[in-house]
Structure 1
C-alpha cells in the first residue's frame, strides 16, 4: 500500500530477483539481494529468489495475467473456473502465442519462454490460484479502473509498434474496456 509496504493478497508463489540493468551499479545487487532475502523469510509467503535476471519470470507472469484476469472479469468467476469456460484452451493458446511473437521482436527476447511453456505456466497458475478472485475481477466489481491497459492492451499497442498481429489480446482488451464503461456489468 505504501512505498515500503507489501500486501499479500492472494495465494500462489512469489519470485524475487533483480532485473538486468543497462547501467552497472556495484551496490544495487547487494542491497536489493539482502532486501529480497528478508522478504523471502516473511511468514506465510511462499517465495523463491532467482539469481539471474527475472525477465523470463516477467514474461510468464504477463502471460498468466493476460489470460486469467480478463477472463475472470468478463465471466465474473474465480480463477479456477476459467478451465470450464467454452474456448478457454484456444484463448489461452492464442494469448500466449501472441505474447511470444511480440517478445521475439524486442531486445532481450531470448528471455521469453516458448509458447508451450507460457501456456503451461498459465495452467499451473490457474490451478495454484483456483480459489482466488483475480485483481481485475475485484476492480470490475468495485467499479475501479482495471489493469487491462498494462496487460492485454499493452501487448496490443506493442504489437502495432513492432508489426505483430495480436487479435486475441486486442479482443480481450476491448471487451474489458467496454465492460468497465457500464455500471451494471457485462453485456
Structure 2
C-alpha cells in the first residue's frame, strides 16, 4: 500500500473529489487545494510527494504554479488536462517529470503514471543531491589548491609541504581542510596580508 502524500489542486470540486477518491482507493494520502494561492500555501506547509495541478486552475496559470512549486523544491508536479494541446505539451516539457494525466481519468492509467512520476522524481532528487555534493567537493578542492599556491609562493614551501601545513592547521584547530584553507587564504592574501 502507498504512503505518499499527494496534493490535488483543482478548482472544480467534483473533479478534485473524484481524483482524491481514486487516489485514496489506491492507498495514497490526499490533500486538496482550490486555487493557485491555496495550492502554494498547502504545498509549503505539507511538502507533498506529488502535486497534481489541473491545467485550468483558478488564480494563476498552471504553468507558473508548477514552476514555483518545483523551483522552491516543494514537490514534483504532474498536470491534469481535459485537452492536450501543443502549448500544454510545451509547458510540461519544462517540468521535472515529463508526464501528465488526461480527463476522464482511468484508475489503472493514473496509478501507472503516478508510480512513474514518483520514481523519476526520486531519481532526479538523488542526482541533484549528488551534483550538489560534487560541486561542493570541487569548490573545496579549488580552495585548498589556492591556499597551497599562496603557501608555496609566500612561505617558499613545496606542494607537499604546503598540503602538510594545511592538514596540520586543520587538525590543530579541529576544522575541515577547506576551512583551514579559507583561513590561510584570508591571512595570506595581499588585501589582508598579516605575514
Q: Report TM bin, short chain.
A: under 0.3
Q: TM-score, normalised by structure 2?
A: 0.27
Provide TM-score, normalisation by structure 1.
Answer: 0.27
Larger Rg: 2
Higher strand share: 2
